[in-house]
Structure formats: structure tokens, C-alpha cells
């Protein structure tokens, strides 16, 4: 599974998270330097992700963003990719803020067609 060129939409998030169902994340490259992505929409003006594979279906990532209210935030996450019962690819994130209150949570993303 190569992530480069794939776009996911947030479909669920913990209450202390920032992304909304209007947020999309697009992985723009994957190679020797790692996995790079961008995210935006809804509650996020602009965000970026740098990640590395930990297995065929898991990724470790760092992310940062500017929110719609102008707040600068950063965090880390472990991502797991799996198909659901309808064979749609989903990304499950267990995340934690590295700024602010340093709480953690979970979000779920679905591959856009």
C-alpha cells in the first residue's frame, strides 16, 4: 500500500481533537525521506504531516497545523490502515498533542473515492 496521492477525510474525532468532518489529509509523497502529507478544511487552515512506516499497515507521524481561529498546534500519532466490511480503506489514529494540554484521543479517516 503506497499512500502517495491518497486523500482521506476525517469521519470521527475525540472531543478534544481539532479536525472536523470537513478536514481532508492528502499524502503527497512517500519514499526514502519518509511520508509527507498536508491537511486542511473545516477547523484547519493549513497543516502538514511527516511520517515513517513501522509496518505494512502502520505509520508513526508528527503533525502541526494552524487552526481556523489562528491557533498553532502540534502532535504525534500512530496510524493503522485497514479495510472495513465494505472494503473501504480507513485510517485509525491514536494521537496526542505535543502542545497545549497534551491530552490524547482517537480519530478515524476514510479514503475518498
Q: Which domains does the chain have, with CATH numbers?
A: 7-111 (2.40.128)
How many Å apart are CA 112 and CA 107, to the nearest integer?
A: 16
pLDDT digits (tens, 9 = 90+) for 60-91: 999 999 999 999 999 999 999 999 999 999 99
pLDDT score, position 32: 87
Strand-strand pairing, 7-13 and 58-67: unpaired
The pLDDT confidence band at residue 23, using thresholds 50, 70 and 90, is very high
The pLDDT confidence band at residue 15, using thresholds 50, 70 and 90, is very high
pLDDT score, position 113: 75
N-term to C-term CA, the chain: 16
**Measured torsion, CA atoms of residues 68, 72, 77, 82, in degrees rounded to the nearest 10:** 20
What is the chain's mean pLDDT, rounded?
Answer: 96
**Residue 102 per-residue DSSP state:** -
Amino acid at each position: 500500500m503506497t499512500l502517495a496521492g491518497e486523500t482521506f477525510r476525517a469521519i470521527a474525532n475525540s472531543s478534544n481533537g481539532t479536525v472536523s468532518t470537513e478536514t481532508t489529509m492528502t499524502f503527497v509523497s512517500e519514499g526514502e525521506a519518509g511520508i509527507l502529507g498536508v491537511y486542511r478544511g473545516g477547523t484547519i487552515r493549513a497543516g502538514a504531516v511527516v511520517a515513517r512506516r513501522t509496518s505494512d499497515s502502520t505509520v508513526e507521524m508528527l503533525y502541526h497545523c494552524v487552526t481556523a481561529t489562528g491557533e498553532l498546534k502540534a502532535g504525534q500519532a500512530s496510524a493503522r490502515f485497514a479495510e472495513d466490511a465494505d472494503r473501504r480503506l480507513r485510517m485509525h489514529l491514536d494521537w496526542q498533542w505535543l502542545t497545549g494540554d497534551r491530552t490524547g484521543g482517537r480519530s478515524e479517516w476514510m479514503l475518498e473515492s
